[in-house]
Structure 1
Amino acid sequence: MSFKTFLKSKLFFRHLGYAVAIASGFLLISLLWLNIYTRHGQAGPVPDFIGLSLDEVAKVAKKSKLNFTVIDSVYTDSVEKGMIAEQNPKPGFKVKKGRNISLIINAIQPEMVPVPDLLDLPLRQAVALLENAGLEVGALVYKPDISIDVVLGQQYNGREVEANSTLEKGSQVDLILGKGLSDKRTSVPNLVGYHFERARSRIIGASLNVGTYIFDNTIITAEDSAKAFIYQQNPAYSENATVQLGSSIYLWLTTDSSKLPVDSTLIIGAMGSIAPMEPSNPIEL
C-alpha cells in the first residue's frame, strides 16, 4: 500500500482518532491536575486578625484553611497586650487556601531602653541620640544661661532622669536648654501642608514646642491621622514672624486639601500627596 493510499484508508483515520483521543485525554488530565495544584478559583479574603488572641487566631485560621506564624513582637497602645498588632497580608487581601499569614503580637511587657547622656550636647545632637535610642523628645524648656540650645538637664515626668537609667521605648524626655543671656528669638517655620511627624521635627529643629493639635471631622481612623496634613498653624508663618525660644505652635490637621490656603506655596506630588515647597532662603538655626 502506497503512502497516499494509506492516508485515504480507514486504518489511517482510525489511528488518527486514537491519537486525538489520547492527546485530548492527556490535556484534560493536565488541566485538572494544574487546577488542583494551584487551587484555581479558591482564593478568599484574609480575615482580620488584629486585636485577636493567639487562640482566637488559631480558630479563625483553621476555619479559613490558612496557616499563620508569629514573626515578631512590638509594644503598642493600639491593641491590648498579648493581642495581634499587625499582619501580612492585610485583611481583605485575596489569598489561596494554605497561605501562611505573618503576624506581629503586642508584647505583654514593654521594651525598656537606656537613656543616653545628653548633658552639654547641642539640641540637634541630643534629638538624634534620643531617637536612635528609641525615645522621643518631649517639651523643650528654656532658661537663662550663657549657652544657647545646649542641654542643661533631662527630665521624665517632671523628674531628672540619669543617663543609662531605663525607660519604656517611645517615652518622651523633656530637655532643659540654655537660651542665652539675652531675649533670643527664633523664626516661625512654615508648617502648612506637612504631615504631623515632619512638622514636629521642624518645630523641634526651630527650638520650639508642639502645642495642642486638633483633628477636623475628616479624620476618624488611625489611617486618616497618618495621612492628615496641617492646614492652619498658630502663630502663623510669615517671613518676619519670630517667637521666643521654647514657645508652642498650635496645629490644625485635615485630609481635605480644599482647606489649604489658596495662596499657599504647596505642590501636589506625583502620587497625590501634598508637600510644601521649601523656602528659597531657608533659615539655618
Structure 2
Amino acid sequence: MNVLALINSFIRVVECGSIAAAARAQGMSPAAVSQNLSRLEAHLNVRLLSRTTRSMALTDSGARYYEKVRHIPRDLELASQAAAGADEPQGPLCVATTAAFGRHVLAPLMPAFKAAHPRIDIELISTDRRVDHRLEGVDVSLRIAAQLDERLIARRIASRPFVVCASPGYLERAGVPDSPEALKDHACLVFRYPTDGRFLPWGFVRDGQRFEAQLNAQFVCDDIDMLAQIAVNGGGIARLASFVAQPLIDSGRLLPLFEATQRRQAYAEPEPMEIYACVAERSALNAKVRALIAFLEAALEGDAKSPVA
C-alpha cells in the first residue's frame, strides 16, 4: 500500500473542497480518489471525512490529521532535491500574475528564465481575480500593493511608474488638465477590480504628501488593455502602468500628463506601482520560487533603468 499516495489524495480533497476537484488536480478519476480516501481511513482505523451525496466536511480526527500531514508533499519535494544535490532548481512551478503584468512584462521574460533553469516546468495563471494558493496549487503569485492579502507572505520585487495620459485628439477637444485636481472635469477611464468591484484609486504625491484625485469615471473596465485602447481612440484620460503606456506614447498615440518637465506650482507625481511576490507560507520559498524571485528582481531592476520604465 502506497500510504503517501493516499495521504496526497486526502490533502488534495481537503484543499480543493471536493473529490471531483481533487481528481482533476491529480489527473485521476473521482472513483480512484474516493477509493484512496477509504483505504486511508481503513489504514488509520478512523473516519477523516464526513461525506454525503451533497456535502463533505472534516471530522475532528480528520482536522487534526490534516494539520499533521499537510506539509508532507512539499517536504518530500524539498528532501528529494536535497538528496539529489539539487543545486539546480527543478520540478513544476505554478505562477499566478495580474493580467497586464503577465502579458506585458512576465511573459517576455519567461523564455530567458526557462533557459537559465531548464529543469523547472512553468505554469502561468494570468488573472486579476484573487487566487487561492493552496486550492489552485499556486507556488507564488505576483501582485500589486492593492491586491496584497494579510494571509500571504509578500516581498517587494520591483516598482514601475504609473503614467496619466490621453490621446492628442482628446486633449485638443477637451483641453489639457494642469493638475490632478482638474481630473474631475475630464472623462476618466477607470479600472475596476474584478475581486471586489472597487475602483483602483489614482494616487499622487505632492510635497511628500499622498492624496487621491477625484475622478469623473466615464468608462469603467476590468481589463487595463481595453482602457488603453479606449484612451488611444479619444475616450478620455487613463492611468496606465509604464509598461502599457510607453509604447503608445512612443508611437504618438498617447501623450503623458503631469510630467516632471511640466512642473507647475500644482505639480504632483503619480504614485508608482509596487509589485510583490507572494507565497502562502515560508516553507513555500523553495529553490524554484527563490530562483524566480531572484531572476525577476535582477531583470526588472535592469529594465527599470531603460527609458520604457
**Superposition TM-score, scaled by structure 1 size:** 0.22
Larger Rg: 1
The structure with the greater share of residues assigned to strand is 1
The structure with the greater share of residues assigned to helix is 2
Higher relative contact order (CA 8 A, sep 6+): 2
**Superposition TM-score, scaled by structure 2 size:** 0.21
